[in-house]
Structure 1
Amino acid sequence: MSNSNTDAQWNAARVADTLLTAERSRTARTSIAHEWPGLTLDVAYAAQDIALADRRSRGEVVTGIKLGLTSRAKQKQMGVDEPSVAWLTDAMALPAGLPVPRERLIHPRAEPEIAFVLGRPLSGPGVTAAQALAAVDHVMGAIEIIDSRYSGFKFTLADAVADNNSSGVYLTGPITRNVSEIDLSLEACLLEVDGDIVDSATGSAVLGHPAEALAFAANTFGARGVTLEPGWVVLTGGMTDAVAVEPGSRVAAHFTSLGSVTVAGG
Structure 2
Amino acid sequence: MNKEQIRNCGDELYRAMQEHRPVAPLTQRYKDISIDDAYHISLRMLERRLADGETIIGKKIGVTSAAVQQMLGVYQPDFGYLTSSMVYSGEMPISERLIQPRAEGEIAFILKRDLCGPGVTEQQVLAATESVMPCFEVVDSRIENWQIAIQDTVADNASCGLFVVNEQAAADPRKLDLPGCEMVVDKNGRELSRGFGAAALGNPLTCVAWLANTLGEFGISLKAGEIILSGSLVPLEPVVAGDTMSVTISGMGRCDIRFT
Task: Give the TM-score taking structure 2 as reference length.
Answer: 0.95
2:224 maps to: 230
Cα root mean square deviation, aligned = 1.4
2:192 maps to: 198
C-alpha distance in 2, partners of 1:10/1:187?
A: 46
C-alpha distance in 2, partners of 1:77/1:170?
A: 20
C-alpha distance in 2, partners of 1:251/1:73?
A: 19
Deviation at 1:81, TM superposition (A): 5.0
Q: Secondary structure at the match of 2:231?
A: coil
More moved, 127-136 vs 158-167? 127-136
The code of the aligned residue for 2:225 comes to G
1:110 maps to: 103
Deviation at 1:8, TM superposition (A): 2.5
Q: 178, 189, 210: which one pairs with 1:216?
A: 210
Task: Give the TM-score taking structure 1 as reference length.
Answer: 0.93
Is residue 68–residue 232 contact of structure 2 (8 Å, CA) maintained in 1? no
* Percent of matched pairs sharing the same residue: 32
1:144 and 2:133 correspond: no
Q: 150, 163, 167: which one pairs with 2:160?
A: 167
C-alpha distance in 2, partners of 1:26/1:229?
A: 31
Number of positions where the alignment pairs a residue of Structure 1 with one of Structure 2: 259
Unaligned runs of 5+ in 2: none
1:35 maps to: 29
C-alpha distance in 2, partners of 1:46/1:15?
A: 10
Q: Secondary structure at the match of 1:44?
A: helix
Is residue 9–residue 46 contact of structure 1 (8 Å, CA) maintained in 2? no
Change beyond 3 A, Cα 1:139–1:51: same
The code of the aligned residue for 2:162 comes to V
Q: Secondary structure at the match of 1:189?
A: strand
Deviation at 1:73, TM superposition (A): 4.0
1:247 and 2:213 correspond: no
2:91 maps to: 98
Q: Secondary structure at the match of 1:98?
A: strand
Q: 183, 187, 190: which one pairs with 2:181?
A: 187
More moved, 116-125 vs 191-200? 191-200
